[in-house]
Amino acid sequence: MKNNKIAIIGLGYVGLPLARLFATKYDVVGFDINQKRINELQSGLDVTLEVEEAVLTAVLKTTNNTDIGLFCSSNIEDIKNCNYYIITVPTPIDKNNRPDLTPLYKSSETVGKVLKKGDIVIYESTVYPGVTEDECVPVLEKISGLTFNTDFYAGYSPERINPGDKLHTVDKILKVTAGSTPEIGKKVDDLYASVITAGTHLAPTIKVAEAAKVIENSQRDINIAFVNELAKIFNLMDIDTHAVLEAAGTKWNFLPFKPGLVGGHCIGVDPYYLAQKAQEVGYHPEIILAGRRVNDSMGQYVAAEAVKLMVHNDIRIKNANILVLGITFKENCPDVRNSKVVDVIKQLKGYGTKVTVYDPWANTEEVKLHYNLETTQNLPKENKFDAIILTVAHNEFLNEDLNILLNSAGVIYDVKGFLKTNVSKRL
């Protein structure tokens, strides 16, 4: 297997850690259409903070030679001699919550242009069952002129990257694998097993592996929706939800989910992929979509609860100054994809308030590009606020004395149940 040359297509939160890992044992080309990203990576800089500079530079190569290591490029010529192509592009949803397979189609077209006899194309992107063989493979066949399972083959190994998690890194998370034939499944499994210390699980078919991935996040989404609904109920009963969950958590088999905003590239998206496919085959998924409705409603709910808290303190809502702490989709991570904090901000502005967003992790230019919102990486200590809403549990927020930022009647609303003292209310 040492003679294998691997191309990783897409060098984001999933692709880069995988490329770095494979480059410890193989000749790897990391391909991405973003030239700025390529320039940064070749200089040792990963703006996603998933791979540390020292770790990245340890495997980087300055030329696309046959040595073990990683060479990053946006030139399709640099991947034409590979025999494994691993596609790790995003799978988003559109404005109507329908799967958008455009990145998969485009990346499949790119690979199709260099595909050769005997090559194996592996997809890691989260999809509904059938996408690899029914949607992507026909693109590969059309562009390459080759025949599936005769001239080239496919595999699927769903990503399980947890952005910002330095404990559960890619090599320490068990990997599900699958191939378009039993023989190819074994090859795909062996390839991953050579670098994944946590081990692998070879699924019997690609569709099984696709289904396994999409239900992982759908299950989490439903569980979080349940506790979000509990939070709404207990709030009406004037009961502390976090105290209830702490008490219930003393039972050995209680699942420790917490209420909050559910965004990101997986949990807030994947259930829609499964729901779409379910409807195509004639089944209307009630629980899955109900969970999505609850979680998608939380931005509006958080804003309304914060405003109610302000009203109770006789704070005038129109033109009130509100500080929102955090805009990334999760704590201690710069990833702003599908952040549900944006829903909170939109609702607050709808009440006529003035919103300041502070997030030491989020790239201000990226937030502006994706959401047309102004943010700051520096705590605005010169201002006084009528309300502070903590939406993301960044560690930095624990070190700030938030009370000095408040007006005399100001309130603190803690969505995450993260702050230890002086909180007016928790979700």
pLDDT tens per residue, range 85-126: 999 999 998 888 899 999 999 999 999 999 999 999 999 999
Shared domain for 39 and 180, answered yes or no, is: yes
Which CATH number fits the domain that encloses residue 159? 3.40.50.720
Instruction: Calculate the alpha carbon distances from 80 to 74, 84, 237 in Å.
Output: 12, 10, 63
Shared domain for 169 and 313, answered yes or no, is: no
As for how many domains the chain has, the answer is 2
Three-class SS string for 179-217?
ECCHHHHHHHHHHHHCCCCCCEEECCCHHHHHHHHHHHH
Shared domain for 29 and 159, answered yes or no, is: yes
Shared domain for 303 and 199, answered yes or no, is: no
Shared domain for 200 and 335, answered yes or no, is: no
Q: Tell me whether residue 83 is in a domain.
A: yes
- The confidence score (pLDDT) of residue 381 equals 85
- The confidence score (pLDDT) of residue 420 equals 81
Going by pLDDT thresholds of 50, 70 and 90, the confidence category of residue 1 is low
Q: Domain of residue 357: give its range.
A: 297-426
Q: Which residues pair with 99 in a beta bridge?
A: 93
What is the tens place of the pLDDT at every residue in 114-169? 999 999 999 999 999 999 999 999 999 999 999 999 999 999 999 998 888 888 89
Shared domain for 51 and 198, answered yes or no, is: yes
Shared domain for 64 and 180, answered yes or no, is: yes
CA quadruple 32, 33, 35, 36: dihedral positive or negative?
Answer: negative
**Could you tell me what percent of the chain has a pLDDT over 70?**
100
Residue 299 has pLDDT above 70, yes or no: yes
Report H helices in 23-84. 35-42, 53-57
Shared domain for 195 and 338, answered yes or no, is: no
Shared domain for 51 and 174, answered yes or no, is: yes
Q: Tell me whether residue 252 is in a domain.
A: no
End-of-domain residue from the set 204, 229, 251: 204
Q: Tell me whether residue 212 is in a domain.
A: no
End-of-domain residue from the set 155, 170, 204: 204
Going by pLDDT thresholds of 50, 70 and 90, the confidence category of residue 266 is confident
Q: Tell me whether residue 266 is in a domain.
A: no
Q: Tell me whether residue 264 is in a domain.
A: no
End-of-domain residue from the set 204, 230, 245: 204
Q: Tell me whether residue 181 is in a domain.
A: yes
Residue 343 has pLDDT above 70, yes or no: yes
- The confidence score (pLDDT) of residue 117 equals 97
Neighbours of 289 (CB within 10 A): 17
Q: Tell me whether residue 260 is in a domain.
A: no
Active-site residue list: 266
Going by pLDDT thresholds of 50, 70 and 90, the confidence category of residue 340 is very high
d(CA 123, CA 104) in angstroms, rounded, equals: 9
- The confidence score (pLDDT) of residue 2 equals 59
Which residues, at least 6 apart from 229, have a Cβ–Cβ distance to it below 8 Å?
Answer: 294
Residue 320 has pLDDT above 80, yes or no: yes
| Entry pTM | 0.92
When pLDDT is averaged across residues 348-368 and rounded to a whole number, the result is 96
Q: Tell me whether residue 227 is in a domain.
A: no
